[in-house]
Amino acid sequence: MPKFSVILPVLNEKEYLPKALDALIHQSDENFELVIVDGGSTDGSLKIAAEACEKYAGFYLIKGKFDTAFEAMNRGLKAAEGDYVLFLSAKDFITDESIEKLHETIDESEKKPDVVVFRNFLFGEGMLPHFDEYEDKLAPLPEAPKYEHLFLRAFTLGNKCYRKAFLENRRLHFGTENPYADYFFIFRAFLFARHVMGCPYAFHERQIMPLDDTPRDKPTRAHLLAFCEMFSDIYALAAQTIAEDSEAPIDGDESYLQEVLYRWICNLYEKFYRYFWLMDDETYALFVEKYQELMQRLQPEKQKKLNEYYSYIGAPHIFESRHDGEYLCMLALSFGQREQYAPFLESLYHQTFPFFEVAVRESFADEIPSRYRKMPNLCVLPDNNFFPTARQKAQSHMVLVVKDGTPLHLDALKELSESHAPMFLRQSVFAKIRKSAQVKISLKEKGLDF
C-alpha cells in the first residue's frame, strides 16, 4: 500500500498537464500513487494521461463524465489506496522533494497527523510571485490548536495532505453543488482533525489564472450568493462545535466566531469589491446588502481593525452604487499598437485598488473588449486634443499619461494610492512602481529569486 495518493482531476488541461505530470514523475520519493480522474477531455489531455499511466508504475487513470472537479476528486478519493491523500490541479504542481519531505515529517511526528500543511507559492500573469504569508505561518507549526485563526486564511487545497482514514471516519468529501465546496471541505478537516501539523520543507506552486479562465472567480450574483452560503455554513459549523465543546450556548461574540465574520468580510472585499466594475447593478446592490449585514454583527474592535486594513479603498464606506466611486486618477492611454489596449484594460479592471478612470482615443475604441465598453468609468474621447480633453473630463485630481502598453501588476494602483509623494511627482512614482514590478517578474522568470 502506498504512503500517499495524489488525486489529479483533469478536464481539457492539455496545456498544463505535462508540467504537472513531470513534477510527479521526478519526485525523489516514489512511495505514492497517482490517480488521474478525467472528466471527459476532448483536447488531447486524455491521451497524455493514458500514455503516462502506461509508462509509469503506480499511475492510474479513471475515465468518466463529471460536471465539476469536486465530483472527480470524490471519485479519486474513493479509489485511493494511500495512507494520505493530496488533491492537486493540473495547473499547479509540487516540487521534486515534496513527497519525500511530507513522508519524513509524518514519520517523525509522535502523533499521527490528520492534516499536514506545507508551503504555498503563488505566481501568475500580472502579479509578483510570492509565498502565501498565512499558509507560511502554519507550515512551521509542529501542532496547530483547534481554533487557530489562521485556518480561516488557509483555503488553498493543493498544499495540504489528509489522512485517508480520518476523512473516511469523519465522512469528509466535497460537496458538488457549491463552487466553493473546497473551502468548506478544508475548514471541516481543520476543525475535526485531532492533530494538524506543518511541513515547511514541501512546496506547492499555485498558478493564479486570469479571471476568464477561473469561472468561479467572476463576480456574478450566483457566485456571491454561493460564497455567502459557504461562509454561512462555516460560521454555523464553528458555532455548533464551540457550543458542544463549551457545553454552553453561544452569543456570536466568541473570538473565533468574530474571526469567521472578519474573514468573511475580507473575502468579500478581495473577491467582489475589488472587481465592482465587473458586477452588474443588481449584483452590486446585493453585495452592499451582505456587507452591511455582516458589519452590524462585527464587534467594534474588529470593525476598527478591518477599516484600518482596507483604508486604502475607503473602508468602512462602501459606495451605494458603482457610479459613486471617488477616483484616484484618470489614466489616459496612448499606445502605438492597437493590440496593446485589450491586455492593459484587462489588467486595469483587475486591480486590487478599484477606483480609477480610463480614457482611450476614439480611433482605438474598437479594441476595447465588449464587457468594458459600457463601464461608467471608461471615457472614449476624440483623437484631437485627447490629453487636454481627458484632463477636462476627469473627476479625479490627477491624470496619468500611459504610453507603455505593458499590463499592470495587480497592486500597481494600490501602491500608488498609498504613496505620499506630492501630486506633481505621481507620474514618476507610477513609472517606478511599474518598472520595479517588471524587473522582479523578469528575474523570477529567469529562475532568480528576489
pLDDT digits (tens, 9 = 90+) for 431-446: 999 888 777 766 666 6
CB-based contacts of 141: which residues, under 8 Å, 6+ apart? 117, 196, 197, 198
DSSP code of residue 433: H
Q: How far is CA 280 from the centre of its chain?
A: 22
pLDDT for residue 319: 82
Neighbours of 194 (CB within 10 A): 12
Q: Which residues contact 419 (CB under 8 A, 6 or more apart)?
A: 426, 429
What one-character-per-residue DSSP string does 89-154 give?
-TT-EE-TTHHHHHHHHHHH-SS--SEEEEEEEEE-TTS--EE-HHHHHHTT-S-B-TT-GGGGG-
DSSP state of 364: G
* Residue 120 and residue 206 in contact, taking contact as beta carbons nearer than 8 Å: yes
Spatial neighbors of 245 by CB under 8 A, at least 6 apart, are none
**Confidence (pLDDT) at 17:** 94
Pairing of strands 330-333, 160-163: unpaired
**Per-residue cell: 255:** 473570538
Cα–Cα distance for residue pair 344/253, rounded to 1 Å? 45
Amino acid at 72: A
**How does DSSP classify residue 390?**
H
DSSP-derived secondary structure for 244-264:
HHHTS---S-SHHHHHHHHHH
Tens-place pLDDT, residues 292-339: 999 999 999 999 999 999 988 888 888 877 677 778 899 999 998 888
Number of Cβ atoms within 10 Å of the Cβ of 176: 16
Judge residue 327's burial from the number of C-beta atoms within 10 Å of its C-beta, 0-12 exposed, 13-18 middle, 19 or more buried: middle
Rounded to the nearest 10°, the torsion over CA 185, 145, 118, 11 is 0
* DSSP state, residue 407: P
pLDDT for 204 equals 95
Return d(Cα 333, Cα 344) in angstroms, integer. 9
**pLDDT beneath 70: ranges in the chain:** 126, 212-213, 322, 441-450
